Amino acid sequence: MLQKKSVCPYCGIGCGLLVDYEPGNIVKVSPMVDHPTNQGLICQLPVNLPKLFTHKDRLRNPMMRQNDQLMPTSWDKAISHVALELNRIIKDYGPDAVAFFSGAACFSEEYYLANKLMKAVIGSNNVESTSRLCMSSTAMGFISTLGADAPPTCYADMEEADLFFIAGNNMAVSLPVIFQRICAVREKNSHAKVIVIDPRITETASIADIHLQIRPATDVALNNSLAYVLINNGFVDEEFVKKYTTGFEDLKELVQEYPPSRAARITGCSEKQIFETAITIGQSKAMLTFWLQGYNQSTQAVFKNNTLHNLLLLTGNYCRVGAGPLSITGEANTMACRWIGALSHLLPGMRLVSNSRHREEVAELWGTTAEKINPIPGRSIIDIIKGLHSGDIRALWVLASNPAASLPHTEWVKEALSKAELLIVQDIFHPTETSMFANVVLAGAQWCEKTGTFISSERRIQLAEKVIAPPGNAKSDCDIICMIAKEMGFADKFLFTSPEEVFEELKKTTSGRICDANGVSYDRLRNSTGPQLPCPTDDHPGTKRLFENMQFPRPDGRAALLARHFQPPSEQTDGEYPFALITGRMAPQFNTGTRTGRITHLDTTVSTNFVEIHPNDAKDFETADGDVVDMISRRGRVRGIVSIQERVLPGTVYMNLHFGEVMSGEKNTLANLVCNPVYDNYSKQPEYKFCAVKIVKI
């Protein structure tokens, strides 16, 4: 048996894996015992990966639509058609009629190539990734508070912390290895405490010393009230605040409007709980904060991030050992989406399309002129969908993503996809909810069938190498992007013969930036578990923590305490739609289940979606466990089986986000059918975590 080290392609923790293989066959995936991230730990997702390599739906050839049916075709025909159609649409409607949307588990090299093709050559900034759905609010939170999208902490801080503040993040399910490390700290250190903020009594809440079962979407009011108690009870680290922050007086004034009595009315938590939580924070010596989609998928997402940073800054829990914001991303390479520029307002190396100096720097590296790069940010993915509806967007190229199931208000999304003149879907499986609408399906390669790098949530860059060849005529995604670019007439900028060559060009865009990767080479990554960025030179060990000198990349060098008022979510419950729906994940499934939904023993764990409802509400609505109900919002309806649970609040219902039609075999079991496609104005991240629904018994 042969063995190669690799990196997990699922969540953004970046666990080190060992892949056992024989020629043409992946046999087993196990954890690396000596990896600094997972230290021998692993969850069930990568263990089941070998089953995906031989699945019947695995794409082996490109496909093109003929007589309304997708039929296998040759690469020559598929690439020629794609290039001709893209060039036609650009000529007829301009470059902004073209858009690109990828998953957040692609390799950095793939984001780099797609960005270069779209932003430098085609001239369209409509480049988006699922990072928009996952972490764009975290990114904007860091930018507004710190001055840069630069998560400062590292996983080793977990073993040094004495307080874990976990908000809107069921990490026992979504980030299991991090959860296991926190549990281990708790076992060793009886003084270490856990605060969980979540509207649901989750698996994570089961280890909490304090669980605030907050009403959905009221976190800003809670955080302001916690700041109120800290400020008014002498828990502010005055020296830290004076030397390293700005905005204290404004914040102090604003939080006077959030005494625990008012916050209790907004959040549903008791005054005593709010006070005790603040005191626990104030008495902590080293607090780490964790948050995820309960924060980020909301119309107040960036403000939730800012007000959480406020608590850390007020108490001096910033950028020192064991303390700070430990932001973990939901997908494997979301950090690279943000740093390599796979969002419509970004350029590689943490640069902005709207910044003329940034455009000049990148244009020089790309061998083009700054004028070629559009200074106006492109559309967010929700605005791309709107553009398909209006006809402003004519072509959409989707790489390793499934927007027909992953975006909110799914029927509206599908209708938009059906209007595209050209929908290119580059993926490893067919059918997906999205590939069913495609004009062209391009057979890409999956993890272990291609080579590239991931950047984890603690900024660790790692190499995942090709272990076996892709099946049939499937090709690596870098190769496919380069083939299309060459066929469109841009061969001179895409003369790469390997992902390593792409990486060598990519890393030049990071010179002198916080994401500096110039000290990284494929050889270095082959022989190590990868340094944490920035790593500017060959002999640099990498950077464990950022800003330890407390100099932040804002004009005044200080972190910003930001005064942010609470606002309710965009949609309210009322007499007609009396329940607030929140959604979440199950441990065996990942996102829309394109991969995990195809693993037989996982998809039989739970056969269909369910609706968690509080016993009081079940009584009022005369429903019983096992009843089939439709949950109806102002946009659509979704079917599920009633599960009566004390774990949800009265007036709130919960549903898992998986169960698209490919996974469940039913057209009406996907929670996103009813979710609201409104977004946070600062991050453009949609509000998946709150919509008003009613329940009708079938």
Q: In what order do the strands lie in the sheet with 16-22?
A: 2-7, 16-22, 25-31
Count of residues in the chain: 698
- Closest contact distance (angstroms) between CB of 43 and ligand SF4 is 3
Distance CA 358, CA 350 (A): 9
| Of 14 and 408, CB closest to ligand SF4 | 14
3-state helix, strand, coil in the chain (%, to 5): 35, 20, 45
| Of 177 and 384, CB closest to ligand SF4 | 177
Distance CA 446, CA 429 (A): 10
Q: In what order do the strands lie in the sheet with 127-129?
A: 69-72, 63-66, 440-443, 422-427, 395-399, 98-102, 127-129
- Closest contact distance (angstroms) between CB of 534 and ligand SF4 is 22
Q: Could you identify the residue written with the tokens 């060098």? A: 557
> In 3D, which of 476, 473, 423, 441 has the Cα closest to residue 63?
441
Query: Under a CB-based contact definition with an 8 Å cutoff, are residues 610 and 642 in contact?
Result: yes
- Closest contact distance (angstroms) between CB of 47 and ligand SF4 is 8
- Closest contact distance (angstroms) between CB of 503 and ligand SF4 is 21
> In 3D, which of 256, 166, 173 has the Cα closest to residue 212?
166
Neighbours of 602 (CB within 10 A): 22
Assign residue 459 a region: left if phi > 0, alpha if psi is -120 to 50, beta otherwise?
left
- Closest contact distance (angstroms) between CB of 17 and ligand SF4 is 7
- Closest contact distance (angstroms) between CB of 180 and ligand SF4 is 9
Distance CA 685, CA 330 (A): 14
Q: Could you identify the residue written with the tokens 């996952």? A: 134
| Of 225 and 596, CB closest to ligand SF4 | 596
> In 3D, which of 501, 157, 470 has the Cα closest to residue 328?
157
| Of 89 and 171, CB closest to ligand SF4 | 171
- Closest contact distance (angstroms) between CB of 25 and ligand SF4 is 21
CA quadruple 155, 164, 160, 41: dihedral positive or negative?
negative
| Of 29 and 312, CB closest to ligand SF4 | 29
| Of 579 and 590, CB closest to ligand SF4 | 590
| Of 18 and 352, CB closest to ligand SF4 | 18
Distance CA 669, CA 471 (A): 32
Which amino acid, 388? L
| Of 149 and 458, CB closest to ligand SF4 | 458
- Report the DSSP beta bridge partners of residue 58: 429
CA distances (Å), 553 to each of 128, 142, 320, 561, 643, in order? 26, 11, 17, 14, 49
| Of 8 and 90, CB closest to ligand SF4 | 8
| Of 8 and 212, CB closest to ligand SF4 | 8
| Of 11 and 222, CB closest to ligand SF4 | 11
- Closest contact distance (angstroms) between CB of 39 and ligand SF4 is 11
Distance CA 544, CA 464 (A): 21
| Of 80 and 180, CB closest to ligand SF4 | 180
- Closest contact distance (angstroms) between CB of 133 and ligand SF4 is 18
Query: Under a CB-based contact definition with an 8 Å cutoff, are residues 439 and 417 in contact?
Result: no
- Closest contact distance (angstroms) between CB of 601 and ligand SF4 is 17
Q: Tell me the two tokens of residue 374.
A: 């559009």
Q: Which residue ranges make up the site for ligand SF4 (CB under 6 A)? A: 8, 10-11, 13-15, 38, 42-43, 45-46, 176-177
- Closest contact distance (angstroms) between CB of 332 and ligand SF4 is 7
Distance CA 480, CA 113 (A): 10
CA distances (Å), 300 to each of 61, 211, 253, 428, 685, in order? 44, 22, 20, 35, 10
| Of 235 and 590, CB closest to ligand SF4 | 590
- Closest contact distance (angstroms) between CB of 182 and ligand SF4 is 13
- Closest contact distance (angstroms) between CB of 550 and ligand SF4 is 31
| Of 15 and 113, CB closest to ligand SF4 | 15
Distance CA 436, CA 471 (A): 21
- Closest contact distance (angstroms) between CB of 635 and ligand SF4 is 31
> In 3D, which of 59, 114, 673 has the Cα closest to residue 396?
114
Q: Kindly write down the DSSP assignment for every residue of 563-622, as one continuous string.
A: -------SS---SSS-EEEEEE--TT--TT-TTGGGSHHHHTTS-S-EEEE-HHHHHHTT
